[in-house]
A = this chain, B = another copy of it.
Amino acid sequence: MKGFVIVNNLGGQYEDDTFTDVTAQIFNLFTLTAVTTVMKELYETNPTQHRWFYDFVRTNKPTDRKRFLHILQKENHELAERVMVTRLSLFAKWIKNLDHAEMYKDLSDQNLELMRERLMETVKWPNDGTDTNTEMA
């Protein structure tokens, strides 16, 4: 239980109260999701442009959203705008339906699930003649 005591004064350790990096990563994430969405749309509507965009994404990894969009804008500004509009629209949809309490519960449940796994792996079941472990699994 030592971990719980130490982590209590966590506030002082993670110094960025505004979570700037988290926001940046979420924007990267929505840019990636927009790229995927536009790619799929092109696959169905415009094979030539899909091929071009597919090659572009392979060459210019969209993990750095600013650099990616900057280059895309130079090479195909219509596609760049389409990705930008799509990411903002997806983001708006996401925040509209976002349930903080549910997300918190999900993450908390994932922690508990991992701790439960460990419990199951470390506990020695009493041998009463039946294979209890198998039954539990």
Interface residues of A (CB under 8 A from B): 1-7, 9-14, 17-19, 21-23, 25-30, 32-33, 35-37, 39-41, 43, 54, 57, 62-64, 66, 69-70, 73-74, 77-82, 84-95, 97-98, 100, 103-104, 106-108, 110-111, 114-115, 117-118, 121
Given known pairs A14-B90, A40-B13, the reply for A98 and B97 (CB within 8 Å) is no
Interface contact A10-B22, CB-CB below 8 Å = no
Given known pairs A7-B89, A10-B54, the reply for A84 and B104 (CB within 8 Å) is no
Interface contact A33-B40, CB-CB below 8 Å = no
Q: How many monomers of this chain does the complex have?
A: 2
Interface contact A114-B70, CB-CB below 8 Å = yes
